[in-house]
Amino acid sequence: EEQLVESGGGLVKPGGSLRLSCAASGFIFSSFSMNWVRQAPGKGLEWVSSINSGSTSIYYPDSMRGRFTVSRDNAKNSLYLQMNSLTVDDTAMYYCARDPTAGVANYFDLWGQGVLVTVSS
């Protein structure tokens, strides 16, 4: 069964850092681009980052560039999101999601269950 499982969330103080992980199984991870999408409590979906299969193309929205860093380890079938200088506005459920191609900017055909990040003093 194809599966994505996020981990690493939790409570962090404003200004703090957190590293999220996403473990993939049931498919050839190295063949697909991956993404992070977040959802603040009671709000809609917001794209956070994209990384292609070979880590040669990486993208963020302007609001997150410089604070968030996406990476992947194809040997470990894992996707990561390093988040620094966190603010209360970063409080959200963070989902990893698969792009069905090796490139970026396509739909997301597989989603993890999400991991909650709470930024609060």
Q: Which is nearer to other proteins, 1 or 75 (CB)?
A: 1
- Which residues, 54 to 73, sit near other proteins by CB under 8 A? 59, 61-62
Q: From CA 56, how far away is CA 102, in angstroms rounded? A: 11
Choose, by CB under 8 A, the member of 54, 85, 105, 120 that binds other proteins.
Answer: 105
Query: Cα(21)–Cα(33) distance, rounded to whole angstroms?
Result: 15
Q: Which amino acid is at 62?
A: D
Q: What are the residues whose beta carbons fall under 8 Å from the beta carbon of 75, sequence distance 6 or more? A: none
Among 27, 111, 116, 118, binds other proteins (CB under 8 A): 111
Tokens 């968030």 identify what position?
Answer: 68
Q: Residue 5, interface with other proteins (CB under 8 A)?
A: no
Residue 109 is a binding residue for other proteins (CB under 8 A):
yes
Residue 95 lies near other proteins (rule: CB under 8 A): yes
Instruction: By CB under 8 A, name the one of 23, 47, 77, 91 that touches other proteins.
Output: 47
Q: Tell the residue number behind the tokens 């979906």, with chain if given.
A: 45
- 19 contact partners, CB below 8 Å, separation of at least 6: 8, 80, 81, 82, 83
36 binds other proteins (CB under 8 A): no
Q: Which residues bind other proteins (CB under 8 A)?
A: 35, 37, 44-47, 50, 59, 61-62, 95, 97, 105-109, 111-114
